[in-house]
């Protein structure tokens, strides 16, 4: 059956990484039909800064950023191809000329439209280099423009997929050569570039897997797989070998750096397993997300930092009834905020939110005009999937709990960041071994 691979920016960040990608494709047992590739390294961030410079008419900053980005890509071409670089360098130069033209053409357009017409060049550049390298080393590869395969509406920066049209175009592809295409981007029926929003490259790979009814989707990362906690913050985090679709979606909803639910939905519909594998340790066992999940429950731990707690009460001391909650939560939606924790009482509603000033401050101003509002900043939210009371108490220590929520499967507790350790140590389910490194 068809296998779809997806490689992120870290796996193609420079010439050495692109060479390694070629080795991965040459040595893995299964040969994928489709390979989806992100932009190189931090290219998307650089393109967003270039967009800001273009829209602010800061021509000196814009030109400097454009030249830096062009030089970086051409240096990779030189490192890969040496004396045989002319044809590839010419294609890269042409893409930068088109990027420059689009910035000059669209910088007076609404930002979401301008964004989609220019950010897509990160993936167009990376796949141009990768396709050329794979053909150079003898892996027969056809480059395809995802904007002509993934058909979307014109909701820029968060486009919706036209599944029937996309399925028809993808299934029309044929041939026995490897198909290389871009993540994150699509196009309207009339050829206008769009982007798919958060985690768009993973979603792109899932779209191809769904439409081709693939046997599996493999996402290659610079880590061995998925963990029950962030290994950078928890010194004894363990890899999760198997997760169900439902569990992965729950973890993602609560902020874990796993696979976005948008990616999982089309895979779940077709029962396609998703493997997360390490491109640095090819023999390491992957993490697998599928319908089956693990035979035993492993608690998972998620930290969300830079949190703000808003405690709202009616000014007339009346109940925090359904009508008032509807009003408050509706304002969250309009502000583009997501409540990471919601806790309510007879006369209050508590909301834990990410501290995004551009979205948060206007929301706070709006709510404070109609409700008594108390605010707490610089907080850390700990979410535990499959908690036990001893485990929660061991993790909480003697810290003050500013807000909490608990049901059968998930517990959340909100602490002051100043009271939280820099590195956490996970206890067992009986709460033993809960030593925590301190700042």
Torsion-angle region of 76 (φ positive above 0: left; ψ -120 to 50: alpha; else: beta): alpha
Distance between CA atoms of 36 and 311, rounded to whole angstroms? 45
The correct CATH number of 300-419 out of 3.30.2130.10, 3.30.1330.10, 3.90.1310.10, 3.40.50.920 is: 3.30.2130.10
Confidence of residue 423 (pLDDT cuts 50, 70, 90): very high
Q: Is residue 231 a contact partner of residue 300, using CB atoms and an 8 Å limit?
A: no
* C-alpha to C-alpha distance for 193 and 200, rounded to whole angstroms: 14
Asked if residue 229 lies in contact with residue 300, where contact means CB atoms within 8 angstroms, the answer is yes
Q: How confident is the model at residue 436 (pLDDT cuts 50, 70, 90)?
A: low
Predicted confidence band of residue 358 (pLDDT cuts 50, 70, 90) = confident
Contact 197, 158 (CB under 8 A): yes
Provide the whole-model pTM: 0.89
Q: Residue 438 — pLDDT band, cuts 50, 70, 90?
A: very low
382-416 residue pLDDT tens: 999 999 999 999 999 999 999 999 999 999 999 99
* Mean pLDDT value across the chain: 93
In the chain, domain spans: 3-222, 300-419
Q: Residue 296: pLDDT band by 50, 70, 90 thresholds?
A: confident
Report pLDDT digits (tens) over 59-100: 999 999 999 999 999 999 999 999 999 999 999 999 999 999
Q: What percent of the chain has pLDDT over 90?
A: 85
CA dihedral defined by 227, 228, 230, 235, rounded to 10 degrees?
-100
21, 7 contact by CB (below 8 A): yes
Q: What is the pLDDT of residue 439?
A: 43
User: Which residues lie closer than 8 Å to 57 by C-beta, 6 or more apart?
Assistant: 107
Cβ count near 57 (within 10 Å) = 10
Q: Say if residues 141 and 175 touch (Cβ distance below 8 Å).
A: no
Give the separation between CA 24 and CA 140, rounded to whole angstroms. Answer: 15
256 token code pair: 């874990």
Place of tokens 């206008």: 192
Q: Is 184 helix (H, G, I), strand (E, B) or coil?
A: coil
- pLDDT for 67: 98
Topology of domain 3-222, CATH: Carbamate kinase (3.40.1160)
């Amino acid at each position: 059956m068809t296998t779809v691979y997806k490689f992120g920016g870290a796996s193609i960040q420079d010439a050495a990484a692109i060479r390694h990608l070629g080795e991965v494709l040459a040595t893995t047992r299964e040969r994928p039909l489709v390979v989806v590739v992100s932009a190189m390294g931090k290219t998307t961030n650089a393109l967003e800064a270039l967009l800001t410079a273009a829209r602010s008419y800061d021509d000196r900053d814009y030109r400097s950023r454009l030249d830096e980005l062009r030089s970086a890509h051409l240096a990779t071409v030189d490192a890969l191809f040496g004396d045989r670089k002319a044809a590839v360098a010419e294609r890269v130069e042409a893409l930068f000329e088109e990027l420059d033209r689009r910035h000059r053409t669209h910088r007076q357009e609404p930002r979401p439209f301008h964004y989609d017409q220019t950010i897509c060049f990160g993936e167009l550049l990376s796949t141009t280099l990768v396709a050329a390298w794979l053909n150079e080393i003898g892996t027969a590869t056809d480059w395809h423009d995802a904007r002509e395969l993934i058909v979307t509406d014109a909701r820029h920066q968060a486009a919706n997929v036209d599944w029937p049209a996309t399925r028809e175009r993808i299934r029309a592809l044929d041939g026995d050569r490897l198909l290389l295409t871009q993540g994150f981007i699509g196009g309207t029926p009339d050829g206008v570039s769009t982007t798919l929003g958060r985690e768009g490259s993973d979603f792109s790979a899932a779209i191809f897997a769904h439409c081709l009814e693939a046997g599996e989707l493999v996402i290659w990362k610079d880590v061995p797989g998925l963990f029950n906690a962030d290994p950078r913050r928890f010194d004894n985090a363990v890899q999760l070998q198997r997760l169900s679709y439902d569990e992965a979606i729950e973890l993602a909803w609560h902020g874990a750096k796993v696979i976005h639910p948008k990616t999982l939905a089309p895979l779940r519909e077709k029962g396609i397993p998703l493997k997360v594998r390490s491109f640095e340790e090819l023999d390491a066992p992957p993490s697998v997300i599928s319908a089956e999940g693990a035979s035993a429950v492993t608690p998972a731990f998620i930290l969300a930092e830079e949190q703000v707690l808003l405690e709202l009460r009616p000014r007339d001391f009346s109940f925090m009834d359904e009508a008032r909650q509807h009003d408050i939560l509706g304002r969250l939606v309009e502000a583009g905020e997501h409540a990471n924790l919601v806790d309510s009482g007879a006369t209050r509603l508590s909301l834990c939110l990410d501290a995004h000033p551009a979205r948060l401050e206007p929301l706070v101003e709006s709510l404070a005009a109609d409700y008594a509002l108390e605010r707490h900043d610089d907080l850390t939210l700990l979410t535990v999937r499959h908690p036990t009371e001893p485990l929660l108490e061991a993790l909480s220590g003697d810290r003050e709990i500013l807000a909490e929520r608990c049901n059968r499967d998930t517990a959340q507790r909100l602490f002051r960041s100043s009271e939280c350790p820099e590195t956490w140590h996970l206890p067992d389910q009986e709460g033993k071994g809960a030593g925590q490194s301190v700042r």
